[in-house]
Amino acid sequence: MTKADLVVEISKLTDLTKKETETVIKTIFGSITTALSEGDKVELRGFGSFRIRDRKARQGRNPKTGETVKVPAKKVPFFKAGKELRALVDFN
């Protein structure tokens, strides 16, 4: 599902136009992005949580040449699914 698909689905379920729905979705995603960039954790009960994880520096390899390269430490976004979402997705 793309963001455009999400806009269509939400606008069908609400009295909002597609343009208004798109604004709401952009605001939500923007708020999550801003919180993560400031180092905050975002928790959506029943859905999951977003946070930043630190990755340590490591040795990598250029797949084309086989040459060893140094990969610097960095911060990456991480999503952990909530219990309810995990239960819905687990088809076994």
3-class state of residue 86 by DSSP: helix
Please name the CATH architecture into which domain 3-89 falls: Irregular (4.10)
Strand order in the sheet with 42-44: 42-44, 48-55, 74-81
Please write the tens of the pLDDT for every residue from 11-68.
999 999 999 999 999 999 999 999 999 999 999 998 999 999 999 999 999 999 999 9
Domain boundaries in the chain? 3-89
Q: How many helices (H) and strands (E) does the chain have?
A: 3, 5
pTM of this structure: 0.78
pLDDT level of residue 90 (50, 70, 90 thresholds): confident
